Amino acid sequence: MNTDIVLNPLGYPLILADNDFSTINQLLNKEAESGCVFFILVDENTYQHCIPQLLTNVEVLSQADIIEIESGEENKTIEICTHLWEALTENGADRRSVMINLGGGVITDMGGFVSATYKRGIRFYNIPTTLLSQVDASTGSKTGVDLGGLKNQIGVFADPQAVFINPAFLKTLPTDQLQSGYGEILKHALIADKEYWNAIKAKHYTEIEDWGSLILPSLKIKSGIVKQDPTEKGLRKLLNFGHTIGHALETFALENNQPLLHGQAVALGMLAEAWLSTQLTTLSATQFEEIKEVILFNFELYKPAEANFERLLELMGHDKKNVSGQVRLTLLNEIGKGVYDIKCDPELLKDALRFLISI
Ligand SMILES: NC(=O)c1ccc[n+]([C@@H]2O[C@H](COP(=O)([O-])OP(=O)(O)OC[C@H]3O[C@@H](n4cnc5c(N)ncnc54)[C@H](O)[C@@H]3O)[C@@H](O)[C@H]2O)c1
Ligand SMILES: [Zn+2]
């Protein structure tokens, strides 16, 4: 892939370009004409691996102020936001300033939030550098940070000016981070597109070389859903498939010092929620077996002891998706057809966890 592909279902361009920086150059050159000052938000890994490539190819950023934070979900906090707002203030950022979020979902979530709230909002661009952020986090306008143990508890919907996706950035990404992003790719296929599922189901994620060819269909699915329901009143809940149980596993594993990456937890959440789909919706046993096989082919199991199920349920109760504490799930009617707002009682949730640890 040499030329860039620009999608625009959300009112801002999603630019997919493998090492072709022409569109992002055009956009940022135009910003520069208005005399703006650029800031680039990075963590130590994207500073090392992605800044050189970006600055070599986008000349207008050579004078940008680079703000570096420590990598990791534990830094996606309001305290770090305060540090970032202060750094912007100290460096004289005004309302014409432009933020470039160069990194994974932590950087795009937090950089988007900091930009959307600094002086009531400055413009920002997302340049996602992990597979997960390229197929998911950087697009869809959700920004925010965690609070205590609760993920994404504080945040706002805010549109970037554009999202620039360059699969070449993935070359330095550790394998487990690719695996994590692959979890969200499988989710997109399962909730919305059986053909896409059929095209990828036989592959192990480590065999995939042309990530651009998977990022494109995933982006189309995500942005197509977000376009119809930007603020998650209904349809956007489809994107939560695997996340009710997945988020609980992610938090629980972290509490027990055995951290799972987001997409790894979501993959296991999808497995448990696919099992629930056989109980609560119309997913057939054959399709369920197929989903199970693909997930187990690509992901390792994580098995919390039964004594911890109450804690896991408690964590599911904190899920923002539930109306007044009642657990409502996104499930599958069949492969490629998600369904949302399915009520599930706690005993059945425990059965799903029992299924997961019985594999
Ligand atoms: N806003 C949304 O819609 C949305 C959707 C899904 C996930 N998220 C959020 O995204 C976050 C997870 O994102 P993530 O998985 O990208 O994690 P991340 O941002 O923590 O990045 C993972 C790791 O990869 C490193 N890294 C990034 N790019 C690299 C590169 N090119 N080469 C080498 N190392 C690189 C980072 O420094 C970090 O150590 C979570 O906070 C989650 O809540 C948001
Ligand atoms: Zn997710």
Could you tell me the fold of the domain covering 5-172? Answer: Rossmann fold (3.40.50)
pLDDT of 325 reads 56
Asked if 239 and 225 touch (Cβ cutoff 8 Å), the reply is yes
* pLDDT tens per residue, range 148-185: 878 899 999 999 999 999 999 999 999 999 999 999 99
* pLDDT tens per residue, range 220-266: 999 999 999 999 999 999 999 999 999 999 999 999 999 999 999 99
pLDDT of 322 reads 56
Q: What's CA 172's distance to the chain center, in Å?
A: 19
Residue bearing tokens 């096989």 = 293
Residue 329: count other Cβ atoms within 10 Å of its Cβ.
31
Name the residue with the closest Cα to ligand 1, atom 6.
Answer: 137
Q: Which ligand is nearest to the CA of 139?
A: 1
* pLDDT tens per residue, range 49-67: 999 999 999 999 999 999 9
Mean pLDDT of the chain: 95
- Whether 294 shows a pLDDT value over 70: the answer reads yes
pTM score of the predicted model:
0.95
Which residues, in sequence order, are CB contacts of 227 under 8 Å at separation 6+?
9, 10
- Backbone phi, then psi, for 345, in 5-degree steps? -85, 160
CA of 138 relative to ligand 1 center, distance in Å:
9
Q: What is the domain class of 183-207+229-358 according to CATH?
A: mainly alpha
Between the alpha carbon of residue 49 and those of residues 38, 103, 151, 169, the distances in Å are 20, 10, 27, 8
- Backbone phi, then psi, for 91, in 5-degree steps? -90, 15
272-291: average pLDDT = 98
pLDDT of 1 reads 44
pLDDT of 338 reads 98
23-33: average pLDDT = 96
| Residue 45 CA, closest ligand 1 atom number | 37
CA of 26 relative to ligand 1 center, distance in Å:
26
| Spatial CA neighbour of 273 closest among 333, 233, 324, 184 | 333
- Backbone phi, then psi, for 328, in 5-degree steps? -120, 130
Using DSSP bridges, classify how beta strands 98-103 and 38-43 pair: parallel, antiparallel or unpaired.
parallel
| Spatial CA neighbour of 238 closest among 227, 262, 250, 222 | 222
- Residue 220 CA neighbour count, 13 Å, CB half: 11
pLDDT of 195 reads 98
CB-defined site of ligand 1, < 6 Å: 43, 45-46, 49-50, 71-73, 76, 103-107, 109, 129-130, 132-133, 136-137, 140, 142, 151-152, 169, 172-173, 177, 180, 262
Any idea which of 96-100, 187-191, 324-328 has the lowest mean pLDDT?
A: 324-328
303-312: average pLDDT = 95
206-221: average pLDDT = 95
Tokens of 100: 């470039």
* Residue 305, SS3 per DSSP: coil
Transcribe 20-31 into DSSP letters: --HHHHHHHHHH
pLDDT band at 317 (very low <50, low <70, confident <90, very high): confident
Residue ranges of domains in the chain = 5-172, 183-207+229-358
pLDDT of 241 reads 98
